[in-house]
Amino acid sequence: MFSKLIFNCPWYYVIICLACGAIFSGFLYFKNKRNTDVSNNILIILTGLRFLSCTLIAFLLLNIFIKQLKNETQTPTILLAIDNSQSIVAAQDSNFIRKEFIKNLDDVKNNINKNYTLKTILFGAQTITGDAKPDFRDKETDIDNLIGEVENNYSNQNVGALIIVSDGIYNKGSNPLYNTEKLNFPIYTIALGDTNELQDISVQKINHNQFAYSGNAFPAEVIINAKKYKGKEVTVSLTDARGKKLSQKISINSDNFLSTVTFTLNADFPGVQRYAVNINALEGEKNISNNYQSFVVEVIDNRSKILILANYPHPDVSAIKEALLTNGNYEVDYSLIGDFKKPLKQYSLVILHGYSASNTQLANECKTNLIPVWLVNPASAENLPGIKIASSFNKQNDAEASFNNSFGLFTISDELKKFIKDLPALKTFFGNYSLSNGANSIINQKIGTVETDNPILIFTETNGLKSSVFVGDGMWRWKMRDFYEHKNNNLFNELLSKIIQYLTVKSDKSFFRITSPKIVNENEMLELGAEVYNKAYELVNDADVQLTLTNSNKKQFNYTFSKTSNAYKLNLGFLAPGEYKYEAKVKIGSELYVKNGSILVKEIMAEKINTIANHQLLFQLSYRTGGKLFYPKQLNKLSEEIAKNQLIKPITYSTNLTTSILDLKWILFGILILLSLEWFLRKRYLTI
């Protein structure tokens, strides 16, 4: 560390400080020298102590700075990422992987730890950093997510290399090769699994509707893959929710056979319907777990019709329309306001874009027909439901978004809450905002770094009629940001779906309400919510809410909801695949309220469908980044290869630190010591 003094004053101020210290100390101790019997040595010591303390105090008044050059050396970090998915132990060498290979890998980790900083990462459906041992239970593999997490979390660190232990099979996310250019360090890969093709028949994929409407027919396409079974015949069976079985026979005419079998199904009754596809096993087939696959379809009574009206074409309108069309619950009509001639009564919701005073009659017609209205990017700040804005029409702000944690009309995922903070800015009205009684804001404006109470998206309900206002221009940018960061529009679609669902669903006037998903994947945490109201429709949570969960084997599990500030929540964790029924109860006074429902937990088959290792992908990951591929028997060469890489070396960072001497505590302590010592000697030898 190198230091130098920086003066914010002329150089001769230092001489003045020295002179002040000398004059003050000399005048104090030598003006009455003739009247004392103290020796010259004592006087000289006292004078010196007073000179030093006074001079240091004078220096403090000059506001002198110390500039330091601080060097810090950072040891290279080696990241070890282990594939924790089921396909790793699906091959015949599973015992070797679980025991001998893991032990050998621990030896490699110990060798690397001697010269580098080693951090272990487990990846599968998600990426987790920590020292946990792999259990190879993850239902999916997302190598692209691993690359992204490494790039996000370690981009500013001295990462020497990334070691990926995997079979190269990925069934979630994009091709990881697309993101390797973001990394500035090599990837070393350890190739596990078997690349040999065995005799196998599998259900590769099932294409089906997510939603169907009661009374309609819909197709289900089953894609079959057969390897090394040329000349054989198999039966593909589909069993519906009521146990009815449909079957088709397929003749296999090649050793790498791919065929699509189409079944036509009837949506006879509403609710979540489960279907199962099965292929009979053939002689010599080792992996029969991929001969079976199930899927679910939600059958609904009718579809909500939504009308989008705009004063002029706008990309926000297109973004909203596309998001709604991805949800099978909605039928969407679009028109410019000047061209619209149809009656409004048929619609469950009207979305008005660019609302202005000229559209007041249309808004009143919606109110007369009890149709909820969502106003998006209003052209005027006047006559907006639930909000008043004192604004000049020509003045606008660039406002980013922040989530309002006190919002409670409906819930959104934690991923969406986090994503809202990163959304690009919108154009909003500049002015004073005030919400009406009963209005609720879910997204507020953030101006610069200041989170304000001015809303972007609000909801209000008057006499049972719901409405919403989105005060902003540029929603389409939110959709583009979602696709840029996640390669899909799932979070943007979730936000739109929640908005539309709240506005279109009839208000529940019951005193006991349960919120629960109808369908979840087995690797998703299952959470339920509950609300209890008194006779005045005020939220209360004095009583306990009990829930009995019954699985498909009629086994029951009892739970008690946890209480929040004014409601209830219950985290059931991860449930095994199957259909569950629940019964929730709460007793308020002398009245017992009961709610019943069902939840379907879907099994994830991704790791069972393809078990053939993809070592070519691992080779490409290493080749493109300057690393190498190793096999389990070559683990001892991995640490040697890393040690030989001249690019993996410590990095020294230099930092300039500027500190005022007023911030240096040792100077204060030094002055106190000098004054204390002087006081002691004065008490001991003289009184002046």
pLDDT in tens, 176-229: 988 888 888 999 999 998 888 888 898 988 998 887 777 778 899 999 999 899
209-236: b or e for each residue (b if 16 or more CB lie within 10 Å)?
A: beebbeeeebebebebbbbbbeebebeb
Domain boundary residue among 300, 321, 356? 300
Consecutive H or E run containing 432: strand 426-435
Domain boundary residue among 504, 534, 565? 504
The pTM assigned to this predicted structure is: 0.61
Predicted confidence (pLDDT) per residue in 615-647, tens digit: 999 999 999 999 999 999 898 899 889 988 888
Angle subtended at Cα 327 by Cα 322 and Cα 331, rounded to the nearest 5 degrees: 80
Same domain? For 287 and 308 the reply is no
In three-state secondary structure terms, 560 is strand
Predicted confidence (pLDDT) per residue in 532-571, tens digit: 998 877 889 999 999 999 998 999 999 999 998 889 999 9
Same domain? For 362 and 378 the reply is yes
Domain boundary residue among 469, 504, 539? 504
Report the pLDDT value the prediction gives residue 3, as an integer from 0 to 100.
66
Report the pLDDT value the prediction gives residue 209, as an integer from 0 to 100.
82
pLDDT at residue 361 tops 60: yes
Q: Tokens for 263, please give them.
A: 């079944």
Same domain? For 27 and 144 the reply is no
Predicted confidence (pLDDT) per residue in 105-141, tens digit: 988 898 888 889 999 999 998 898 877 788 888 888 9
Report the pLDDT value the prediction gives residue 683, as an integer from 0 to 100.
79
Q: Tokens for 666, please give them.
A: 């040792």
Strands 211-213 and 217-227 turn out to be: unpaired
pLDDT at residue 43 tops 80: no
In three-state secondary structure terms, 660 is strand
pLDDT at residue 393 tops 60: no
Q: How confident is the model at residue 507 (pLDDT cuts 50, 70, 90)?
A: low
Same domain? For 355 and 491 the reply is yes
Report the pLDDT value the prediction gives residue 36, as an integer from 0 to 100.
58
Same domain? For 596 and 618 the reply is no
How far apart (Å, rounded) are the C-alpha atoms in residues 666 and 632?
Answer: 58
Residue 487 identity: K
Same domain? For 526 and 459 the reply is no
- CATH code (residue 373): 3.40.50
Whether residue 607 is contained in a domain is answered as no
How far apart (Å, rounded) are the C-alpha atoms in residues 374 and 467?
Answer: 6
Q: What range defines the domain where residue 527 resides?
A: 512-602
Predicted confidence (pLDDT) per residue in 288-331, tens digit: 888 888 888 888 776 788 999 998 899 999 999 999 888 767 88
Is 564:515 a contact under the CB 8 Å cutoff? no
Same domain? For 424 and 317 the reply is yes
- CATH code (residue 87): 3.40.50.410
Closest by CA to 124, choosing from 88, 152, 96, is 88
Is 681:45 a contact under the CB 8 Å cutoff? yes
How many structural domains are present in the chain? 5
- CATH code (residue 215): 2.60.40.10
Strands 426-435 and 440-447 turn out to be: unpaired
Closest by CA to 360, choosing from 341, 336, 380, is 380
DSSP label of 475: H
- Section 38-43 average pLDDT: 76
pLDDT at residue 31 tops 80: no
Report the pLDDT value the prediction gives residue 521, as an integer from 0 to 100.
87
Region of residue 382 (phi > 0: left; psi between -120 and 50: alpha; otherwise: beta):
beta
Same domain? For 524 and 632 the reply is no
Same domain? For 149 and 189 the reply is yes
Q: Tokens for 370, please give them.
A: 């009890």
DSSP label of 342: S
Beta strands in 561-614, from DSSP E residues, in sequence order: 562-563, 568-573, 578-588, 591-602
pLDDT at residue 2 tops 60: no
Residue 379: C-alpha distances to residues 26, 364, 367, 373 (Å): 81, 17, 20, 16
Q: Tokens for 633, please give them.
A: 């028997």
Closest by CA to 123, choosing from 103, 109, 143, 139, is 143
Predicted confidence (pLDDT) per residue in 420-439, tens digit: 998 999 988 888 888 888 88
Alpha carbon 324 to chain centroid distance? 23
State phi, psi for 485 to the nearest 5 degrees: -85, -30
pLDDT at residue 27 tops 70: yes
How far apart (Å, rounded) are the C-alpha atoms in residues 600 and 276?
Answer: 14
* Percent of the residues in the chain that have a pLDDT greater than 90, as a whole number: 32
Q: How confident is the model at residue 595 (pLDDT cuts 50, 70, 90)?
A: very high
Residue with the two structure tokens 């799932």:
490
In three-state secondary structure terms, 359 is helix
Strands 591-602 and 519-521 turn out to be: parallel
Same domain? For 407 and 528 the reply is no
Same domain? For 632 and 534 the reply is no
How far apart (Å, rounded) are the C-alpha atoms in residues 543 and 36?
Answer: 88
Same domain? For 60 and 180 the reply is no
pLDDT at residue 162 tops 90: yes
Segment among 34-48, 253-267, 451-465, 535-549 with least mean pLDDT: 34-48
Strand partners, 457: 443, 470
Predicted confidence (pLDDT) per residue in 207-220, tens digit: 988 877 777 788 99
Angle subtended at Cα 280 by Cα 274 and Cα 281, rounded to the nearest 5 degrees: 125
